[in-house]
Amino acid sequence: MKKLMIYAPLPIILLAFVIAVLQTSAKTIRVLFIGNSYTAVNNLPEVVKQVTQSAGNDIEYQASIPGGTTLWQHTTNPVTLQLLQEGNWDFVVLQEQSQIPSFPDGQVEQEFFPHVITMDSLIHAYSPCAKTVFYVTW
């Protein structure tokens, strides 16, 4: 059952990407994945690329996905910041450390929302037209 819970969101994110990509022009789609091992396991960025290409679209991606990393840590991670500064991203996928979104509301307000807002601001500072996508693991 646990395996099912881990992989259940995968078809949803793949479908969302394919739909979003199909709605964009016929250019190479640039996607940045920011998260941790939940994104790295089974090489989710490459799976998304293969599914998107199977629909006849070209995609390139980069990723900053070190294990256990929170969005708060990504706000100061040199690799993440460098990738964001490359700009021209069409989509930036954010994936928080798995437990934080399940904390009590007050704790989520302190430990999740401020960092999501910071990440979204960083994304749009360098890629004003980017769409921010959340990869929810549970």
pLDDT more than 90, % of the chain: 48
Q: What is the pLDDT of residues 93-106, one digit of tens each?
A: 998 887 777 778 78
Q: What is the Cα–Cα distance from 2 to 41, expressed in whole angstroms?
A: 15
| Long-range CB contact pairs, 107-111, < 8 A, 24+ | 111/72
* Beta-sheet pairing, 29-34 with 59-64: parallel
Helix (H, G, I), strand (E, B) or coil at 23: coil
How far out from the chain centre does Cα 128 lie? 16
| Residue 1 binned pLDDT confidence (cut-offs 50, 70, 90) | very low
| Domains along the chain with CATH numbers | 2-11+27-134 (3.40.50.1110)
Are the C-beta atoms of residues 112 and 71 closer than 8 Å to each other?
yes
Q: What is the pLDDT of residues 51-81, one digit of tens each?
A: 888 888 899 999 999 999 989 999 999 999 9
